[in-house]
Structure 1
Amino acid sequence: MLAGPLPGIYDPTGPRKLLFAFFAAMADRAGEHLRVDAGGLDTAARKGKHGGRPPVITDDMLHTVLRRRASGESVEQIQPDLILPTGNRKGHNPSVASIYRALAEHAKREA
């Protein structure tokens, strides 16, 4: 509000002083909340717990994709043979984009 597109136009001593105080208190509380969350994430990481969703492509699936790609098959040819073992789409095929993403992450880890 003070550094946005209208700096200097809003006077916090005017009739909207209560609204300004409310926004200032909420901004202070939000910053406090972020610091608490960051500390919790660091603590969880030290305990070996990392958040986020589990990967769609399992290590076994990735191994299959790598082996078949080495023999000359394309991702589009491999995708129909892969079956998701868990999650909401259990029993379905993973998307081609998920396979490419897993391949890119594997290449980054190998580099």
Structure 2
Amino acid sequence: MGRGCRSAEGRDEAHDGLTGPLQGVYDPSGCGAALFAFLAGMVESERECIREESLEGQASARERGRHGGRPKVVDDDTADHARALRAEAGDAPPRRAPQAPA
């Protein structure tokens, strides 16, 4: 596959990847086209696998009653207290309707 790829110095560039003297140069008609196509397919496959495993883990956690994300910084009691303090100052924002849990 990379047997015909030789640099000006005569050494084989097949295993240098994107770090040799040809860094940033890609010739789609050159001998590296098949290698890049293969690597692109492998990366896509790996990404799909990671995504599937991540979704499975999230579903498993949901079944156990665990929810992802950061905890709330302001709970309902603290928000009500803050609204009451603001109402005393005469500058109260409208209260939003509670949202259904997701």
TMscore range, shorter length:
0.5 to 0.7
Deviation at 1:40, TM superposition (A): 0.7
Displacement of 1:67: 3.1
User: Does residue 18 of the first structure (1) align with residue 35 of the second (2)?
Assistant: yes
Deviation at 1:70, TM superposition (A): 5.3
Q: Taking every aligned residue pair, what percent have the same amino acid on both sides?
A: 22
Instruction: Give 4+ residue runs of structure 1 displaced > 2 Å after superposition.
Output: 65-75
TM-score by length of 1: 0.50
The offset of 1:65, in angstroms, is 2.5
Aligned residues: 72
- Distance in 2, matches of 1:26 and 1:45, equals 29
1:30 maps to which residue?
Answer: 47
What is the alpha-carbon distance in structure 2 between the residues aligned to residue 108 and residue 59 of structure 1? 10
Cα offset for 1:38? 0.5
Rg larger in structure: 2
**Looking at both structures, which has the greater relative contact order when contacts are Cα pairs under 8 Å and sequence separation is at least 6?**
1
Q: Which has the higher helix share?
A: 1
Give the root-mean-square deviation of aligned CA atoms: 3.0
Q: Check if 1:107 corresponds to 2:102.
A: no
Unaligned runs of 5+ in 1: 1-9, 76-99
Could you state the TM-score of these two structures normalised by the residue count of structure 2? 0.54
Take 1:64 and 1:41, find their aligned partners in 2: how far apart are those partners? 34
2:63 aligned partner: 46
How much has 1:31 moved relative to structure 2? 0.6
Q: Distance in 1 between matches of 2:45 and 2:65?
A: 31
Alignment partners' CA distance in 2, 1:60 and 1:52: 21
